[in-house]
Amino acid sequence: MRMFSLEGKTAIVTGARTGIGRGIAEGLAEAGCDIVGAGHAPMPETEAYITGLGRKFRFYDIDLVKQDGIQALVDTTIREFGKVDILVNNAGIIRRNDFLDFPEKDWDDVISMNLKSLFVLSQAVARNMRDNGGGKIINIASMLSFQGGIRVVSYTASKSGVAGMTKLMANELAKYNIQVNAIAPGYIDTNNTAALVSDPKRSAEILGRIPAGRWGKPQDMKGAAVFLASSASDYVNGHILAVDGGWLAR
């Protein structure tokens, strides 16, 4: 199992306070990784779990709707941990409205958070990875990297963009021994999907299409994340791995 070990590695995980980011941060720590949790509110539960495993955890306070603090996040991580081995671009937001009524601000905020911050942070981290001989970048895509969705135009645009950027970064960064892949979660019970879970009609429609017969949990992402963060995936590059209980196969 040594090829899956993350002992001695450092990961930046954005949005590690709740949901999928928390599940992934905890999974990477279980595999031996130290974690910098980047987000705009403290994450005491994530911190307690990770330090309880004997791993280091550092909360870094940053609003990722804007890009102005991103270089400082990377510089601080390098100063305190020596390098960045793994980046998980997880933090993301969603806004819902009919296409004809969709406000421009909800377009701008979602694109800035889900797409532009991912670009700026990945670029800053990849420069460090290049100088250190390699690394792993994991982007969090979506079923809406493959499908259109409804009432979430900026989210669909952003997650389709994440899929394209994953492939572009994989192409350009492979020569530096940096592998860039994405996880595309299916329907996972988190704050992001609370509006769907609490709508009995939509919830039943969604559940009816999931072959696994249940909504996903953040913990369901751990295995894919450890695989894509570890040397077990050294020849996997530019792949978008659906962790969706079979949704896309339906």
Contact residues toward ligand NAP (CB under 6 A) are 15, 17-21, 39-41, 63-65, 90-93, 113, 140, 142, 185, 187-188, 190-193
Nearer Cβ to ligand NAP (82/214): 214
Nearer Cβ to ligand NAP (78/240): 240
Provide the minimum distance between the beta carbon of 159 and ligand NAP in the complex, in angstroms, as a whole number: 7
Exposure class string for 100-129: b at 16+ Cβ within 10 A, else e: eebeeebbeebbbbbbbbbbbbbebbbebb
Provide the minimum distance between the beta carbon of 243 and ligand NAP in the complex, in angstroms, as a whole number: 9
H or E stretch at 194? helix 194-197
Tokens of 76: 């601080």
Beta strands in the chain (DSSP E): 10-14, 34-39, 57-61, 86-89, 135-140, 178-185, 240-243
Helix (H, G, I), strand (E, B) or coil at 53: coil
CA atoms of 119 and 143, how far apart (whole Å): 20
Helix (H, G, I), strand (E, B) or coil at 43: coil
Provide the minimum distance between the beta carbon of 16 and ligand NAP in the complex, in angstroms, as a whole number: 6
Nearer Cβ to ligand NAP (135/186): 186
Q: Which of 90, 160, 85, 188 is nearest to 130 (CA)?
A: 85
Provide the minimum distance between the beta carbon of 216 and ligand NAP in the complex, in angstroms, as a whole number: 7
Taking the C-alpha atoms of 213, 215, 218 and 219 in order, what is their torsion angle to the nearest 10 degrees?
-20
Nearer Cβ to ligand NAP (142/179): 142
| One-letter amino acid of 79 | R
Helix (H, G, I), strand (E, B) or coil at 2: helix
60, 155, 176, 235: which is the annotated catalytic residue?
155
Nearer Cβ to ligand NAP (19/161): 19
Exposure class string for 179-191: b at 16+ Cβ within 10 A, else e: bbbbbbbbbbbbe
Provide the minimum distance between the beta carbon of 209 and ligand NAP in the complex, in angstroms, as a whole number: 13
Q: How many other CB atoms are found less than 10 A from the CB of residue 97?
A: 13
The reply to whether 155 belongs to the active site is yes
- Provide the annotated active-site residues: 155
